[in-house]
Chains A and B, each alone.
Chain A
Amino acid sequence: MVGDIEMTRDLEAWSVLSLALQPVAPPPELRGRLMGSIERSARFRPFSRDLARWFDLTERAARDLLARVDDPAAWEPGVGPILGFMHFAPGPRVAPAHCGLVRMKDRARVPLHRHVEREVTLVLEGGVVDGDGTRYGPGQALEMPPGSAHTLRVVGNPEALLAVVQADIDVIAG
């Protein structure tokens, strides 16, 4: 933080320089803007622990990741039913698998496919419906072991937000 000054040992003393400043009252709209941001980000707060567990992240890393969902600059544009993708590095138990947050269109369908590797889909918003009719909603995860096959349908309003371990698949039927 500081060049060759041992500031960290004297943080409380240094704060006196801030205390000496004339306080500046923020404009009222800034408070509203902050509370709006908090409200939006709060919708993901219940899932940070699940995200951390499934992707071997620290809870801090999971929270930081979820805090970026509303930042348009954090997203790469997607193709077709994929509206956007945000890569993130998982923890060592999941690496080197590629992981990301993915925004998908409502009613997007993934045809029958077989998983070459383990795949995890954690729903953060909206949902997915497995080929057997099981619906997975926010906070629920669908884990597909290597060799398993299924179809998938996305349910969103108007889109779904998923955290996924990207794994190779073989499409069986279109």
Chain B
Amino acid sequence: MPAKDDQELMGRIAAGDRDSIAGLYDRYAPLLLATAVRMLGGRREAQDLLHDVFLEVWHHADEFDAARGTLRTWLLVRLRSRALDLLGRAGVTRTRPLEDVAGIEEHVDPRELPAATADRIAIRQGLEKLEPVVREILELTYFRDLTAQAVADRLGVPVGTVKSRLVRGLDALRALLHDGEGSERDGG
């Protein structure tokens, strides 16, 4: 969806249009829920988080500025920030380890899965071409908010190695983003 349309959509939500927030939810909830499950591990916690994020969007839709980034990323930033807050609280722990990469999909009823788009398939194929350690560094940084030092400790490699591979990994992500720009159409 063009940035202008996203701005208009968020403007309607800010004005109190329930149909627009419902439409936004229908479009982005599957992407956000996948990220929440990946970060928190538990589906119940992830669903509660999704609810709270969209309620926050309802209250703060006027803060979205399409000139500063995509709506998709604006939503993901909010979700990620809240997920990290939850993970940082002593009482909340992941119910499934991050390393269990395939675990989420194995535990989801296939009927619940939206069809994979060509863009997503291309992105996944692109990520699979990365060295496994680069992918792991990226994921530990994004989904767990680990510092380069913490990633280095966890993987048993020098922090300089983590940083250099992070740079390489980010370059790859940028390239994939450029290649898959059409993925915004269905919320990811």
Supply 7 further A-B pairs (C-beta < 8 A) apart from A17-B139, A31-B22, A38-B21.
A11-B76, A12-B70, A19-B123, A21-B35, A23-B30, A23-B114, A25-B33
- Answer whether residue B180 sits at the interface, using C-beta atoms and an 8 A cutoff: yes
Q: Is the CB of A22 within 8 A of B35?
A: no
> Are the CB atoms of A20 and B127 closer together than 8 Å?
yes
A174 at interface (Cβ–Cβ under 8 A)? Answer: no
- Residues of B participating in the A interface, judged by any CB pair closer than 8 Å: 16, 18, 21-22, 25-26, 29-31, 33-35, 37-38, 43, 46-47, 50-51, 54-55, 58-60, 63, 69-70, 72-73, 76-77, 80-81, 84, 104-105, 108, 112-114, 116, 119-120, 123-124, 127, 138-139, 141-143, 145-150, 166, 170, 173-174, 176-177, 180, 183, 187-188
Decide: A22 near B173, CB < 8 A? Known: A17-B142, A34-B55, A41-B58: no
Complex: A22 Cα to B109 Cα, angstroms: 12
Q: Is the CB of B16 within 8 A of A42?
A: yes
Between A1, A17, A20, A37, the greatest number of chain B beta carbons within 10 A of the residue's beta carbon is seen for A20
Q: Is the CB of B188 within 8 A of A19?
A: yes
**A73: which B residues are within 8 A, CB to CB?**
none
Q: A35–B18 contact, CB under 8 A?
A: yes
Partner of B55, one of A5, A17, A18, A67: A67
Cβ contact of B69, chosen from A12, A17, A60, A63, cutoff 8 A:
A12
The answer to whether A24 and B59 touch across the interface, beta carbons within 8 angstroms, is no
Q: CB < 8 Å: which of A2, A7, A23 contacts B113? A: A23
Chain A residues within an 8 Å CB radius of B29: 25-26, 30-31
Q: Is the interface of A mostly helix, strand, loop or mixed?
A: helix
Q: Does A96 contact B (CB under 8 A)?
A: no
For residue A98, CB closer than 8 A to chain B, the reply is: no
5 nearest A-B residue pairs (beta carbon): A3-B147, A23-B30, A21-B34, A13-B173, A25-B112
Known: A19-B123, A26-B50. A63 touches B146 (CB 8 A): no
